[in-house]
């Protein structure tokens, strides 16, 4: 369970306690942590998730424990009835449901577009129809592409390099357009490589931190796409959740602004492997280098 300092908790609680919110993709990695925290702050939470890349392993316990305050709609954000059912009565909609992963989007760009772009439109239409006050959208640092300029700032011109990045950028534009056209208060948070507990390590599309931890800890060779000199801003999930909760509760009206959520520190993939090796007491481990993957920045 994520813990925040007492003053932060009391500030967040004063907004979320007794409030109804919806989390799309709430069975997923970041969404699951967000749901836990919202629940601990006293919010009533409705989760919609089709469980296409997650399970009820974690959320199931909360649902059994708190049926009054946590509701689950198993369905797709592309299904109007399911989204309406989930969003109904929510003051804030946290929209995290998506097909993640750049390689997956290279394999199936249409599905990525449908869920990430059209799905965002469906969520916005429901939020609008049900009078939600705010929509917080899980955008992505992939919008910056491989521009060498550092640090990445929100005023930089986006340069998506993969179907995933393009679909998430489309989502940002939808949030902005719906804010301006229909008066929804929307905000897009560009998360930078989020990592933390319960992040899946087993899928072929696993993120680099859990994939490396699993491989190094078990003594298996790890696969490095490229020479490992590519850097990322690795963001602990508690920080992403805190930024998300602050965005949902900010008093100021938002109209589709884009906000980076990261640490402004770069770590190369090779440095990451070394750090994990040190923590796992495995200072040396076999590495298989493969060519960089299409779409990777």
Ligand X SMILES: NC(=O)c1ccc[n+]([C@@H]2O[C@H](COP(=O)([O-])OP(=O)(O)OC[C@H]3O[C@@H](n4cnc5c(N)ncnc54)[C@H](O)[C@@H]3O)[C@@H](O)[C@H]2O)c1
So which residues are the catalytic ones? 164
Helices (H), the chain: 6-16, 29-40, 59-65, 80-87, 102-107, 109-113, 119-129, 163-182, 208-217, 237-249, 269-279
Q: Is 193 in the site for ligand X (CB under 6 A)?
A: yes
Q: Which is nearer to ligand X, 49 or 172 (CB)?
A: 49
Give the integer Cα–Cα distance in Å for 240 and 261: 6
Q: Is 188 in the site for ligand X (CB under 6 A)?
A: no
Q: Is 166 in the site for ligand X (CB under 6 A)?
A: no
Q: Is 25 in the site for ligand X (CB under 6 A)?
A: yes
Among 14, 17, 18, 52, binds ligand X (CB under 6 A): 52
Contact 128, 121 (CB under 8 A): no
Q: Is 147 in the site for ligand X (CB under 6 A)?
A: no
Q: Is 97 in the site for ligand X (CB under 6 A)?
A: yes
Assign 68 to helix, strand or coil.
coil
Q: Which is nearer to ligand X, 19 or 168 (CB)?
A: 168
Among 43, 91, 96, 243, binds ligand X (CB under 6 A): 96
CB of 32 to ligand X, least distance (A): 7
Q: Which is nearer to ligand X, 116 or 249 (CB)?
A: 116
Among 16, 62, 112, 119, binds ligand X (CB under 6 A): 119
Give the number of residues in contact with ligand X, rule: CB under 6 A. 30
Q: Is 51 in the site for ligand X (CB under 6 A)?
A: yes
Nearest to 40 by CA among 245, 261, 262, 243: 245
What's the DSSP call for residue 204? T
Quick one: CA torsion of 75, 79, 80, 85, rounded to 10 degrees?
A: -10
Q: Is 121 in the site for ligand X (CB under 6 A)?
A: no
Instruction: Tell me the residue number closest to ligand X, measured at CB.
Output: 28
With residues binned 3-state (H G I as helix, E B as strand, rest as coil), the percentages for the chain, rounded to 5, are 40, 20, 40
Q: Is 136 in the site for ligand X (CB under 6 A)?
A: no
Q: Is 105 in the site for ligand X (CB under 6 A)?
A: no
What's the DSSP call for residue 141? G
Which residues, 6 or more positions from 227, have their beta carbon under 8 angstroms from its beta carbon?
270, 289
Nearest to 83 by CA among 53, 121, 117, 116: 121
Q: Is 86 in the site for ligand X (CB under 6 A)?
A: no
Give the integer Cα–Cα distance in Å for 213 and 277: 8
Q: Which is nearer to ligand X, 36 or 50 (CB)?
A: 50
* Range in contact with ligand X (rule: CB under 6 A) among 75-83, 128-136, 250-258, 278-286: 75-83
Residues that bind ligand X (CB under 6 A): 25, 27-31, 48-54, 76-78, 96-100, 115, 119, 138, 140, 168, 191, 193-194, 207
């Amino acid at each position: 369970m994520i813990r925040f300092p007492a003053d932060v908790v009391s500030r967040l609680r004063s907004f979320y306690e007794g409030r109804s919110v919806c989390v799309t993709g709430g069975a997923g990695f970041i969404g699951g942590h967000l749901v836990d925290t919202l629940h601990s702050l006293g919010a009533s939470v409705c989760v919609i998730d089709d469980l296409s890349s997650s399970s009820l392993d974690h959320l199931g316990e909360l649902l059994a424990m708190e049926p009054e305050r946590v509701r689950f709609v198993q369905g797709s954000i592309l299904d109007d009835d399911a989204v309406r059912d989930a969003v109904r009565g929510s003051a804030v909609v946290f929209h995290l449901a998506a097909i993640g992963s750049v390689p997956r989007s290279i394999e199936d760009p249409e599905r990525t577009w449908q869920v990430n772009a059209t799905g965002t439109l469906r969520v916005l239409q429901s939020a609008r129809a049900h009078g939600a006050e705010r929509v917080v959208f899980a955008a992505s640092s992939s919008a910056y592409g491989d521009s060498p300029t550092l640090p990445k700032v929100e005023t930089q011109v986006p340069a998506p390099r993969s179907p995933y990045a393009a679909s998430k950028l489309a989502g940002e534009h939808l949030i902005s357009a719906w804010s301006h056209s229909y008066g929804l208060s929307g905000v897009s948070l560009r998360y930078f490589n989020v990592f933390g507990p319960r992040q899946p390590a087993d899928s072929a599309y696993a993120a680099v931190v859990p994939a490396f931890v699993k491989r190094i800890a078990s003594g298996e060779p790890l696969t490095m796409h490229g020479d490992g000199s590519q850097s990322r801003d690795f963001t602990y999930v508690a920080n992403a959740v805190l930024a998300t909760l602050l965005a949902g509760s900010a008093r100021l009206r938002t109209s589709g602004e884009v906000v980076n959520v990261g640490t402004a520190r770069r770590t190369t993939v090779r440095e990451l492997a070394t750090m994990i090796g040190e923590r796992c007491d495995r200072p040396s481990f076999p590495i298989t280098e493969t060519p960089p993957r299409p779409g990777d920045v």
